[in-house]
């Protein structure tokens, strides 16, 4: 009987741990317009921003950043090997990454700026 009880605790532990791990992989999705001073922790997952005129600070060594929209300002901590994709106009990305690493960039649209945070 003790063996089954231990197995139940292990199953319960994995049942609780798996959704948390899955949420980090699912990442953060932010939609809307005019959000100011919004602070989010991506927990190592991807970040997707859709909208306009948002000001966001994102921490947590994010695996990627995708922006679709206009006039967004995003300050983000990226993990080594991260990708940044920006589509739209007048978006500004200020990123940081450990050491001299740089993200893979894909930038389409007018007046977008992507630069290392100083």
Question: What would the DSSP string read from start to end of 34-95?
Answer: ---SEEEE-TTSEEEEEEES-EEEEEEEEEEEEEEEES-EEEEEEEEEEEEEEEEES-EEEE
Q: What's residue 45's pLDDT?
A: 98
pLDDT confidence bin for 25, thresholds 50/70/90: low
Tens of pLDDT, residue by residue over 93-111, are 999 999 999 999 999 999 9
Concatenating the DSSP letter of every residue in 29-51 gives EEEEE---SEEEE-TTSEEEEEE
CA separation for the pair 100, 46 (Å, rounded): 21
Query: Using 50, 70 and 90 to split pLDDT, how confident is the model at 31?
Result: very high
pLDDT of 12 above 50? no
- List, for residues 72-97, the tens digit of each pLDDT value: 999 999 999 999 999 999 999 999 99
């Amino acid at each position: 009987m003790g063996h089954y009880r231990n197995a139940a605790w292990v199953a319960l532990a994995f049942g609780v741990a798996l959704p948390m791990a899955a949420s980090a992989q699912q990442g953060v999705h932010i939609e809307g317009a005019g959000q100011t001073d919004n602070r989010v922790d991506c927990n190592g997952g991807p970040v997707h921003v859709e909208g306009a005129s948002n000001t966001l600070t994102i921490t947590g060594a994010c695996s990627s950043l995708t922006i679709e929209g206009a006039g967004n300002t995003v300050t983000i901590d990226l993990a080594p090997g991260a990708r940044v994709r920006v589509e739209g106009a007048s978006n500004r990305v200020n990123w940081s990454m450990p050491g001299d690493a740089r993200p893979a960039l894909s930038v389409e649209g007018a007046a977008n700026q992507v630069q290392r945070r100083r």
